[in-house]
Structure 1
Amino acid sequence: MLNKETAISKDMFAPAHIDPSKSEKISKPSLNFWQDSWLRVKKNKGAVLSLVIIVIVIFLAFVGPLLTPYKFDTQNTKNNNLPPRIQGLENIHWLPFDGTLKRKNGTEYNPYEIREVKEYYWFGTDGLGRDLFARLWKGTQISLFIAFMAALVDMLIGVTYGAISGYLGGRVDSVMQRIVEIIVGIPNLIVVVLMILVLKPGIVPIIIAIALTGWTSMARVVRAQVLKFKNQEFVLAAKTLGASNGSIIFKHMIPNMFGVIIINTMFSIPNAIFFEAFLSFIGLGLQEPNASLGTLVNDGYHSMIAFPYQMIIPSIMIALIMVCFNLVADGLRDAFDPKMRD
């Protein structure tokens, strides 16, 4: 039975007092497209962690060579092929920074003590005695520069070409798409070899070679989006008000495609880094004394058995950058277009 304290009274069934002035008040602030997308990105822990790692890597790519007293191109053959050693960690033998190496018979030795080297090389040295810490961050800087420049050129050419092709349509679209198909059919490696024959091996021919063939995927994606937007109401309204074709494409259509453009650009950056590393690995990339992640892997490959750290460290950096950029691009894709989420 209900006691007096829990008894139900008629006062409990009185109608609630509702303030008419607050009946249509929105308690949650309104968000625009970018704010709403950022909230979805923050929920993706992998994308946020990858974004933080990318920022740290970009920062160290410019600051890292200044943290060590050795320059990336300074040779010291007396200190060649030294393993990683960090001050304060050299006595912790279970860490790979104690300056020891293993012989073929399994015994360990310390080349720092044998050669009486007092310097500390955080990532060791290569066959010419150059500091791998400085060379790693200098190589990361050059690889990221090539990737960002290639992605920027791809975005500019691909967006413009795809938007014009999709908007004009008809015979112009057919001719422009046949040109794209011809470019897609040409292997990138052939274009790179032709660029190197015309120009000297270096950063410029690599960027040109990637830019000449890398914009086709962006052009196709933008063309598809333009075909979808072309007959929608805001485009028809702009035409009715007398807007020019250029104004409709670049002021009305492309701003509505920023999400797709950013996603494709983010995916193109790791592809460019991998392509540059591949070219440098086969000897078609940067030449000495310049360094990139691909050249560092190529140098370490020749002495992989005796000095594995020379190839492992730049390989880890390449894998880290590619994984992080892909995770960020995947998170942006889910944030900008939740319908594309699996």
Structure 2
Amino acid sequence: MEQEKIAKEMFSPAQLDSAKSEEISKPSLNYWQDAWLRVKKNKGAIVSLVIIAILTIMALVGPHLTGHTYEEQNLQHNNLPPRIPVLENVSWLPFDGNLTRKNGDVYNAYEQKNVEEYYWFGTDSLGRDLFTRLWKGTQVSLYIAFLAAAIDMIIGVIYGAISGFVGGRTDNIMQRVIEILSGIPNLVVVILMTILLDPGILSITLALTITGWITMARVIRAQVLKLKNQEYVLAARTLGLSNGKIISKHLVPNLAGVIIINTMFTIPSAIFFEAFLSFIGLGLQPPDASLGTLIDEGFKVLQLYPYQMIIPATVISLIMICFNMVADGLRDALDPKMRD
């Protein structure tokens, strides 16, 4: 079979511009810009960041919105259900001030007690405004969260970096100290602090300071052992940099992703730790408020006034879920192996 001939006129040489052939069309991004682009693609992490920002703003502003203090008592207004202006007229929303008796009868608690004020989240058994106490308790939970993050990033990073970089006998001694501290449960440390001090935020802070940084120190030590023999560290040593400058200028910046990820996963654990201690009576004491104490008080009257437990439990669940979602998003964004 005779093959068709292709004429030369059908071909034309490619016209290449040498200047444009070396032009980079995509903008050059550094490590953090690239990571931020990856985080923005994670809708769950972005929504969680927005929710955390809203809860943080409400924790700062919320206690001043209603005109009541978190410890102000009014026994005549005790156990009032949530009641919000405008929303009280929407029948399917639980903000109309109605309660249900054991026999099934529905009555308006505000009309029965001749109360004209609006308590947006209701009141507790002592007539304290739950809206104000909720956001005051959220302040405590966020304080514990950022405290745990600060302890991890200061004590844990420094301790782990020194232990892994120096090595030898120093590393052995420092790791034995960590093993001793990790063998003591956090609950035992809190009980000891409670014996020495009054139960409250100070004893929780000291407990976190004593044992809260151990996991971070171990992770950083393992990473430093892997990185300290890299070429750029050997070059820095050859140029005469001290060990402190090598750790601060070369190792810690290269461990920033690991530090941020582990810190974000530590925050929900610290929040739950504080709530658990307050729930069992080792945390904040009345009249101080935290999400743990509010859940504990609401649990006692769950069958009669379920809103007293459901509202703070919803807020603490939101905080923990959002921080976990953000941590997952940062882990995927900062891990160099996670490529699109």
Give the TM-score, by structure 1 length: 0.94
Counterpart amino acid of 1:293?
A: L
Q: What is aligned with 1:248?
A: 246
Q: What is aligned with 1:101?
A: 99
Instruction: Kindly state the Cα deviation for residue 150 of structure 1 after the two structures are TM-superposed.
Output: 2.4
Counterpart amino acid of 2:321?
A: V
Q: What is aligned with 1:212?
A: 210
d(CA) in 1 for partners of 2:113, 2:9: 93
d(CA) in 2 for partners of 1:212, 1:199: 15
- 1:175 aligned to 2:176? no
d(CA) in 2 for partners of 1:12, 1:156: 70
Q: How does 1:267-278 map to 2 (within 5 A)?
A: 267-278=265-276
CA deviation profile, 1:10-35 (whole Å, cap 9, x unmatched): 76632332211111010111000000
d(CA) in 2 for partners of 1:34, 1:150: 24
Q: Secondary structure at the match of 2:337?
A: helix
Counterpart amino acid of 2:153?
A: M
Instruction: Kindly state the Cα deviation for residue 340 of structure 1 after the two structures are TM-superposed.
Output: 6.5
Q: What is aligned with 1:332?
A: 330
Q: What is aligned with 1:228?
A: 226
The count of corresponding residues between Structure 1 and Structure 2 is 334
Q: Which runs of 5+ in 1 are unaligned?
A: 1-7
Q: What is aligned with 1:30?
A: 28
Counterpart amino acid of 2:82?
A: P
Q: How does 1:1-342 map to 2 (within 5 A)?
A: 13-339=11-337
Q: Secondary structure at the match of 2:88?
A: coil
Instruction: Kindly state the Cα deviation for residue 51 of structure 1 after the two structures are TM-superposed.
Output: 0.6
Instruction: Kindly state the Cα deviation for residue 124 of structure 1 after the two structures are TM-superposed.
Output: 0.4
Between 113-122 and 15-24, the greater mean CA deviation after superposition: 15-24
Instruction: Kindly state the Cα deviation for residue 312 of structure 1 after the two structures are TM-superposed.
Output: 0.6
CA deviation profile, 1:56-89 (whole Å, cap 9, x unmatched): 1101100111221222111111111000011111
Instruction: Kindly state the Cα deviation for residue 113 of structure 1 after the two structures are TM-superposed.
Output: 1.2
Instruction: Kindly state the Cα deviation for residue 244 of structure 1 after the two structures are TM-superposed.
Output: 0.6
Percent same amino acid among aligned pairs? 68
Q: Secondary structure at the match of 1:339?
A: coil
Runs of 4+ in 1 over 4 A off after TM superposition: 8-12
Q: What is aligned with 2:3?
A: none
Q: 1:104 to 1:246 in 2, by over 3 A?
A: same
d(CA) in 2 for partners of 1:256, 1:207: 29
Q: 1:225 to 1:76 in 2, by over 3 A?
A: same
Q: Secondary structure at the match of 2:72?
A: coil
RMSD, matched Cα: 1.5
Q: Which runs of 5+ in 2 are unaligned?
A: 1-5
d(CA) in 2 for partners of 1:94, 1:139: 28
